[in-house]
Structure 1
Amino acid sequence: MPQVTLDDWAAMPRNRAEVRRGVLVAAPFLDTRHQLAVTRLAYFLDVRVPDLVALAGVLSEGTVRTDRVTKFSEYAEVGIEHYWIVDLEEPASMTTYRLIDGEYENFGEHTGKVSLDFDGIPLTLDLDALTTRHAQRP
Structure 2
Amino acid sequence: MDLRRDHLVSLNEWDAMPEDMCRRHELVDGALQVIASPFPRHQRAALRLTYCLDEQLPDHLTAVIDVDVALKSGERATVRRPDVVVLSVENYGDGDRRLDAADVLLVVEVMSPGSKRTDFVVKPAEYAKAGIAHYWIVELGDPFSLAAFELVDGVYEYVDGGTGTVELTRPVPLKIDLDALLRRR
Asked if 2 retains the 8 angstrom alpha-carbon contact of 1:113 and 1:124, the reply is yes
CA RMSD for the aligned pairs? 1.9
The question of 1:45 aligning with 2:53 is answered yes
Choose the corresponding residue for 1:24, options 26, 29, 32. 32
CA-to-aligned-CA distance 1:75-134 (integer Å, 9 cap, x gap): 110111100000001110001110100111011231111111234x32111111111121
| Matches of 1:3 and 1:52, distance apart in 2 | 23
| Residues 1:114 and 2:166 are matched in the alignment | yes
Q: 1:97 aligns with which of 141, 144, 149?
A: 149
Amino acid of the structure 1 residue aligned with 2:38: L
Structure 2 CA distance for aligned equivalents of residues 67 and 73 of structure 1:
10
Distance in 1, Cα, partners of 2:128 & 2:23: 26
Q: Is the 8 A contact 1:28 1:63 kept in 2?
A: no
Letter in 2 for 1:12: E
Question: Is the alpha carbon distance of 1:132 and 1:107 closer, same or farther for their aligned partners in structure 2, counting shifts above 3 Å?
Answer: same
Aligned CA distance change for structure 1 residues 52 and 75 (closer, same or farther; 3 Å): closer
Q: Do 1:93 and 1:127's aligned partners in 2 also have CA atoms closer than 8 Å?
A: yes
TM superposition score normalised by structure 2: 0.64
- 1:32 and 1:7 map into 2 onto residues whose CA distance is 28
The structural deviation recorded for 1:6 is 4.0
Aligned counterparts, 1:123-138, within 5 A: 123-134=174-185
Bigger shift: residues 103-112 or 19-28: 19-28
Rounded to whole Å, the distance in 2 between the matches of 1:42 and 1:131 is: 13
Segments of structure 2 that go 5 or more residues without pairing to the other structure are 1-6, 62-87, 89-102
Aligned position for 1:85: 137
Instruction: Determine what percentage of the aligned residue pairs are the same residue.
Output: 40
Q: Is the 8 A contact 1:92 1:111 kept in 2?
A: yes
**What is the number of residues matched between the two proteins?**
132
Cα deviations across residues 1-48 of structure 1 (Å, max 9, x unaligned)? Answer: 330434224x23153322223332111232110111111112222233
* Alignment TM-score, normalising by the size of structure 1: 0.84
Structure 1: 5+ residue stretches without partners = none
One-letter identity of the residue aligned with 1:131: L
Q: CA deviation at 1:52?
A: 5.5
